[in-house]
Structure 1
Amino acid sequence: MTTAQDLLFVAMDLPSTRSLERGDLSLALAGAELIDLLGLGAVTLDGEFVLPTGRSVAADPLLELAAAAVAPVADGETVEDWLWRRGRGLPDTYIAALEADGLLGREQRRRYLVLRTSRMVLRDSDGRRRAAHRWAADEPTLLALAAAIGISGPPPVPEPAPGPVATVVTAVRHAVDELAAERSRRSRRLDEANQTYVRRGF
């Protein structure tokens, strides 16, 4: 299992201190992939730039896709650029992989005697237990990524040691804050538009 998979397990298993936004999760999953690629030596950081090393990744199919998506050295790409580009639609990709592996299923529920509904639930698995173990062990990388999207364990949240991992975690936090600011601006513009409609009698 990978850090991104562990983060998704944690996100689905634990309560968040705020509504968990899909965009935030997308950024954090992309950050988790980048951290694993750094650990495997498939990429390196030159300051804020992500550079491929050419080393193959055979650890996980989704990590292989992530490694293949790294921009060529000639193009250059910052960590934040990577998060925004790679993160697009990433939760759906990981959820589909969990379903394909039989790690995610539908729980059937009955409402009002006649209606049946279902919701997606995690099934017990080695991967889910591994994620829970990393969380219980206060593993700094996992806890820092989770905290960036509003999922916090007992304080204080341990920080990754200074270095490439800490650079990625900082970039995730900055990108999540930027996304939150954009949501706030959109909400404010919508409120202002609604007030204008009210004043005009619409």
Structure 2
Amino acid sequence: MYTAQDLFIIALEAPTERPVGQGDLSLALAGAELIDLIGAEAVALDDDLILPAPQWAQADRLLEGAASALVRQEPYESVEDWLWRRGRDLSATYQSAFEEEGLLTRARRGRLSFGAEHVELVDTPARRRAQERREEDEPVLRALAVAIGIRPGPSEEAPGPGGEAVTTVLAAVHDAVMELEAVRQRKAIENAAFSNVWRAP
């Protein structure tokens, strides 16, 4: 039920040379929310379509926000469409919520930079829970962390995430992150070509 929050925490603490991109993290957070909603039986998947339950309430306001954002009329939304729509600026939403709840503070030095600001996690039960899941190499959290580049891929002996619906969401997250990276690379090539045009004699 706390996969998205735990992912945000381990992304902040990730010992990586490459900062986690906000776009990558936002897509993965949207996937993590959907996995939590599946686990809470707030939604089910029909192939790749998200079918919301008639009624559902959750004390966690971030997950409640995800549930309220579901498309509840036919034609229902696909997992891919959900990731791109819900994932828009979602990492910033989590940062704000964590700050409001006292789980995160702004500091001059931090693990993950959001623009010009640096943020640090406060030592809380939520942080310890996320650390325990990371240390236990929990399959779903690991798969999401692999998708955004903060964990290496699992060994062949490592258990995979269970359930067809969860597997569908994880595959969609991986594809969306890859697509975002392809867009970045294409823009970088286009910008470089444009710059070369202006430099040409």
> Same fold by TM-score, threshold 0.5 exceeded?
yes
The residue type paired with residue 135 of structure 1 is: R
Q: Which has the higher mean CA deviation after the structures are superposed, 151-160 or 24-33?
A: 151-160
Residue deviations 1:62-102 (CA, integer Å, cap 9, x gap): 11111111112413211010000001111111111111111
For 2:26, the equivalent position in structure 1 comes to 26
2:123 alignment partner, SS class: coil
For 2:11, the equivalent position in structure 1 comes to 11
CA–CA separation in structure 1 for the residues paired with 2:104 and 2:18: 24
Which protein has the larger Cα radius of gyration, Structure 1 or Structure 2?
A: 1
Describe the shift of the 1:46–1:73 C-alpha distance in structure 2 as closer, same or farther (beyond 3 A). farther
For 2:167, the equivalent position in structure 1 comes to 166
Unaligned runs of 5+ in 1: 110-116
For 2:179, the equivalent position in structure 1 comes to 178
CA–CA separation in structure 1 for the residues paired with 2:55 and 2:24: 29
1:98 and 2:98 aligned = yes
Where do 1:131-146 residues align within 5 Å? 131-146=130-145
Deviation, 1:50, is 0.6
CA–CA separation in structure 2 for the residues paired with 1:32 and 1:138: 16
1:54 alignment partner, SS class: coil
CA–CA separation in structure 1 for the residues paired with 2:6 and 2:90: 14
For 2:55, the equivalent position in structure 1 comes to 55
Unaligned runs of 5+ in 2: 110-115
Q: Which has the higher mean CA deviation after the structures are superposed, 66-75 or 87-96?
A: 66-75
Q: Which has the higher mean CA deviation after the structures are superposed, 147-156 or 64-73?
A: 147-156
2:107 alignment partner, SS class: strand
Aligned Cα root-mean-square deviation (Å): 1.9
- Contact 1:52–1:73 (8 Å) recurs in 2: no
Structure 1 length normalisation: TM-score? 0.89
Deviation, 1:162, is 4.4
1:124 and 2:130 aligned = no
Describe the shift of the 1:16–1:152 C-alpha distance in structure 2 as closer, same or farther (beyond 3 A). same
Residue deviations 1:33-67 (CA, integer Å, cap 9, x gap): 00000001111100011111113121411111111
Q: Which has the higher mean CA deviation after the structures are superposed, 7-16 or 167-176?
A: 7-16
Deviation, 1:123, is 0.8
Q: Which has the higher mean CA deviation after the structures are superposed, 71-80 or 174-183?
A: 71-80
For 2:112, the equivalent position in structure 1 comes to none
CA–CA separation in structure 2 for the residues paired with 1:164 and 1:77: 15
Structure 2 length normalisation: TM-score? 0.89
Identity over the aligned pairs, expressed in percent?
48
Q: Which has the higher mean CA deviation after the structures are superposed, 26-35 or 58-67?
A: 58-67
